[in-house]
Chains A and B, each alone.
Chain A
């Protein structure tokens, strides 16, 4: 455990001194906050319409109308930028021929994989944490339902686990960072598209399977305020699968 934390600390430091995490944070916040505020604008227009037609108030649920689409959009943006956060984790070591150093260190492969994963996850969590100013900002103007927000952020954190473990796996496959990023794009977009396909074929067994595989389908439950073991199992097992595959690939470098 101590080894994992030490390695994670080292990786974190690398994240903090390189510009990439900051640029990612800036782009992510700009895009997702922009989408959020245009939704706020829409919602406040709905509200003023509702005030004018009293007696026949339409359902105005802040979480459903405002936060739910925001979080789903955020998930897509994160899906697109997270490969850039994980691409260097193993690829850089390979390119810089520092893999031998890492391999001959007293760290086990499990510790190496988990350490790097943990570092990326902390950055991801910080990125998400920055968006917490949105509900806080709104809570000064209206009642914000915090419980579904807790579930939403939990879901996004777990989703991040999948993004990052797949990205880590892609990074372990190659020494070229761009190739690593592209591979993890491919994997993650695949999981996203599977969900879109599932919507058009929901009446069949394959449709059921596809919608189970869909990342956003599971995230949507969290975002709507449902925490269930089904979705937890899905996210956690995909994360572990990604980490396991990374472990296999890294280990294979020992005998290649």
Chain B
């Protein structure tokens, strides 16, 4: 009787123990179920052990048990050592990059940025479960972590942690937030260049400031309506820039802390003083981004003309455009080659655009690089009043340049300009970007296609120092492999059929010869 009882209790104990384990592994909660089951198991098994004590005692004094326990103990200790060793060595790695794609190395510029980090940096990547961007981001951040222990990163699925995503204002997948010393930058594009740029921005004492000129009916950064620039402002601030308004008329000059000055589609003319202030700003190495709509007289034309940019009274017509005849679309892959549009794989559209041309007379000192061109089937018309119609005898067939960058061929030394503004740091160089349309960046259009990204690219290109931009894109070597079908068949048959069969034949021969012996 007692023996049966004890066996039953042993079996029950084992069942309870496994049930508890299963519950913990499969459901996890509530924890009390596990506790109850495991406690029951302990009681049953103790009873079993107690009633069978003699048997167990006999077993444990046997020589084999001693060795067995000893062996298990040794294995346990060995496993513990292996685990600890892996734990330690996983945190102190040494690596050799043989990939040839640079996927596991970072540029010297980034290394120096990382070495100069003063504060801890926390990076949170918000990615969907199976995202390619996530792997890329992980690779890049792992490279960073290899260089410095100041960076910690984690990957978060915004669907699993909606509160965290909300806290950081994440609305899209594949977004990376970089946080350090109370500053924050949110990135939508993931590359070494972007991440390092953000690191520089947020580890800087003061933020870079973008000034939007006001006072001539420009699109306002405070205007949340269709025509405002409020979305632009929001996304620039998210990236760690500071956005301010500039009333040129009362300020008289562009403030010294301006990283970029943006003229966003003025509707009324600038005064001569304002023009002079902008001109002086450019002369001392300023960075200006002018978005000038057609059909408007802004009196900026002489200022821009001084810097080689000619604006005519014209409009680009795009009969093939799916958005209407006056909305040229630039398709990905058709951007003229430039750092701004390099690796830019989104289309953009420009509601009502004028051409932007370069004065050949200024070719000696200045360099003009187009960044936006309309498509093959577009026309440039100078007949801007009344009905817009293409007249092949008068109008010019595209592609028409309507956006471009002006810079010096050879940089003159920065100079004092007499307006009281300091000459900007010699490392900064004059940059002027002119686009013949401002509507593409307003709230109604900026979220469509790649419009917002293009604007961002332009201003961040304007705002960054030279050394940052020179971070090379980590491009793998492209190599093509062209096989004729005969070559392909030869390769296929020789390695899929002939080689394996040859090996089998050798094997069978050897085996048969052995058997006969």
**Residues of chain B from 74 to 103 with CB closer than 8 A to chain A in the complex:** 74-75, 78-79, 82, 85-86, 89-90, 92-101, 103
User: Which of A215-256 touch B at CB < 8 Å?
Assistant: 224-230, 233-234, 237-238, 240-241, 244-245, 248, 251-252, 255-256
Whether a CB of chain B sits under 8 angstroms from the CB of A43 is yes
Bound Cα distance A59, B154 (Å):
28
**Closest Cβ of chain B: how far from A195's Cβ, in Å?**
14
Q: Contacting chain A: which of B60-68, B114-122, B296-304, B426-434? A: B60-68
CB distance from A165 to the nearest CB of B (A): 12
Q: Contact: B496 with A233, CB < 8 Å?
A: no
In the complex, what's the smallest C-beta–C-beta distance from B203 to chain A, in angstroms?
A: 27
- Per-position 1/0 for A130-152, Cβ under 8 A of B: 10011001100111010110110
Kindly specify which of B307-315, B353-361, B416-424, B499-507 makes contact with the partner chain.
B499-507
* B95, A248: Cβ atoms closer than 8 Å: no
Contact with B along A13-28 (1 / 0, CB 8 A): 0001111011101110
A19, A63, A64, A147: which contacts B511 (Cβ < 8 A)?
A19
A180-209 residues with Cβ-Cβ distance < 8 A to B are 199-200, 202-203
Q: Are B160 and A203 in contact (CB under 8 A)?
A: yes
Residues A255 and B99 in contact in the complex (CB < 8 Å), given A143-B479, A234-B86, A245-B75: no
Residues of B within 8 A of A66 (CB): 481
- The reply on B133 being an interface residue by CB < 8 A is no
Cβ A227 vs Cβ B96 within 8 A:
yes
Contacts of A25 in B (CB 8 A): 500, 503-504, 507
CA distance A48 to B507 in the complex (A): 41
Of B185-193, B230-238, B483-491, the stretch lying at the interface with chain A is B483-491
Q: Which residues of A contact B26 (CB under 8 A)?
A: none
Asked if A33 is at the interface of the complex by the 8 Å CB criterion, the answer is yes
Whether B85 pairs with A225 at a CB distance below 8 angstroms is no
Q: Is A62 an interface residue (CB 8 A)?
A: yes
Task: Tell whether, in the assembled complex, residue A23 and residue B478 are in contact, meaning their CB atoms are under 8 Å apart.
Answer: no
Q: Is B395 an interface residue (CB 8 A)?
A: no
Determine the chain B residues whose CB is within 8 A of the CB of A133 once the complex forms.
495, 499
What distance in Å separates the Cβ of A219 from its nearest Cβ neighbour in chain B? Answer: 14
User: Provided the pairs A148-B98, A225-B103, A225-B104 are in contact, do residues A230 and B90 lie with their beta carbons within 8 angstroms?
Assistant: yes
How many angstroms between the C-alpha atoms of A141 and B79 in the bound complex?
48
Does A125 interact with chain B (Cβ within 8 Å)?
no
Query: Chain B contacts of A241 at CB under 8 A?
Result: 78-79, 82
Name the contact of A212 in the complex, choosing from B90, B93, B514 (C-beta under 8 A).
B90
Q: How far is the CA of A142 from the CA of B129 in the complex (A)?
A: 36
A27 and B94 CA atoms in complex are apart in Å by 37
- Asked if B59 is an interface residue, CB under 8 A from chain A, the answer is no
Interface residues in B117-151 (C-beta closer than 8 Å to A): 129-130
Closest Cβ neighbor of B481 among chain A residues: A142
> Does residue A178 face the partner (Cβ distance < 8 Å to B)?
no
- Whether a CB of chain B sits under 8 angstroms from the CB of A107 is no
**For window 55-72 of chain A, which residues contact chain B by CB distance below 8 Å?**
55-57, 59-64, 66
From A34-42, A80-88, A97-105, give the one contacting chain B: A34-42
Chain A proximity of B483: nearest CB distance (Å): 5
In chain A, what residue has the closest Cβ to B332?
A56
| B98 CB contacts on chain A under 8 angstroms | 147-148, 150-151, 225-227
Residue from the list A151, A199, A203 in contact with B156, Cβ < 8 A: A203
What's the minimum C-beta distance from B68 to chain A, rounded to whole angstroms? 7
Instruction: Count residues of A near B (Cβ-Cβ below 8 Å).
Output: 72
A212 to B87 CA separation, bound complex (whole angstroms): 10
Number of interface residues of B (CB under 8 A): 62
Nearest to B78 among chain A residues (CB) is: A244
Which residues of A have CB within 8 Å of B514? Answer: 17
Contacts of A130 in B (CB 8 A): 499, 503
The docked-state distance in angstroms from the alpha carbon of A41 to that of B104 is: 29
Neighbouring B residues of A252 by C-beta, 8 Å: 67-68, 71
Question: How many whole Å from B17's CB to the nearest CB in chain A?
Answer: 22
Whether B57 is near chain A, meaning CB under 8 Å from some CB there, is: no
**Least CB distance, B107 to chain A, in whole angstroms:** 17
Question: Cβ of B154 and Cβ of A248 under 8 Å apart?
Answer: no
Q: Is the CB of A55 within 8 A of B67?
A: no
Check B504–A23 contact: CB distance below 8 A: yes
- Complex CA gap A70/B103 in Å reads 19
Closest to A244 in B: B78
Give the complex CA separation of A16 and B491 in angstroms: 28
Known: A22-B506, A227-B96, A255-B64. A141 touches B487 (CB 8 A): yes
**Contacts A25-B500, A40-B483, A203-B157 given; does A248 touch B104 at CB 8 Å:** no
Which of B97, B496, B510, B511 is the one whose CB lies under 8 Å from A34? Answer: B496
Q: For B508, give the chain A residue with the smallest CB separation.
A: A19
B481-A43 in contact (CB<8A):
yes
What is the chain A residue whose CB lies nearest that of B504? A26
**Among the listed A23, A55, A203, which residue makes an inter-chain contact with B507, where contact means beta carbons less than 8 Å apart?**
A23
Q: B495–A137 contact, CB under 8 A?
A: yes
Name A37's contact: one of B64, B100, B155, B491 (CB within 8 Å). Answer: B491
Q: How far is the CA of A148 from the CA of B476 in the complex (A)?
A: 12
- Cα A203 to Cα B153 with chains together (Å): 11
Chain A CB within 10 A, most for which of B63, B507, B508? B507
1/0 per residue B249-293: CB within 8 Å of A? 000000000000000000000000000000000000000000000
**With A44-B488, A224-B103 given, is the CB distance from A61 to B96 under 8 Å?**
no
Given the known inter-chain contacts A29-B503, A40-B483, please indicate yes or no for A228 contacting B96, CB distance below 8 A. yes
Structural contact, B100 and A26, CB atoms closer than 8 A: no
Of the residues A17, A40, A200, A228, contact of B95 by C-beta under 8 Å? A228
| A3: interface (CB < 8 Å) | no
Interchain CB contact (< 8 A) of B500 among A29, A151, A233:
A29
Would you call B154 and A199 a contact (CB within 8 A)? no
Smallest Cβ-Cβ distance to A66: which chain B residue? B481
Q: Is A26's CB under 8 angstroms from B89's CB?
A: no
Q: Residues on A close to B: CB < 8 A?
A: 16-19, 21-23, 25-27, 29-30, 33-34, 36-37, 40-41, 43-44, 47-48, 50-51, 55-57, 59-64, 66, 130, 133-134, 137-138, 141-143, 145, 147-148, 150-151, 199-200, 202-203, 212, 224-230, 233-234, 237-238, 240-241, 244-245, 248, 251-252, 255-256
9 contacts between A and B (CB under 8 A): A23-B504, A25-B503, A26-B503, A44-B483, A56-B333, A59-B475, A60-B479, A147-B99, A224-B99
**Beyond A22-B507, A51-B480, A227-B95, 16 additional pairs, beta carbon < 8 A:** A17-B511, A19-B508, A22-B506, A26-B504, A29-B496, A29-B500, A51-B482, A62-B479, A66-B481, A141-B482, A142-B480, A147-B98, A212-B90, A233-B89, A244-B75, A252-B67
Q: Which 7 pairs, one residue from A and one from B, show the smallest C-beta to C-beta distance?
A: A22-B507, A225-B99, A228-B95, A47-B480, A61-B476, A147-B98, A56-B333
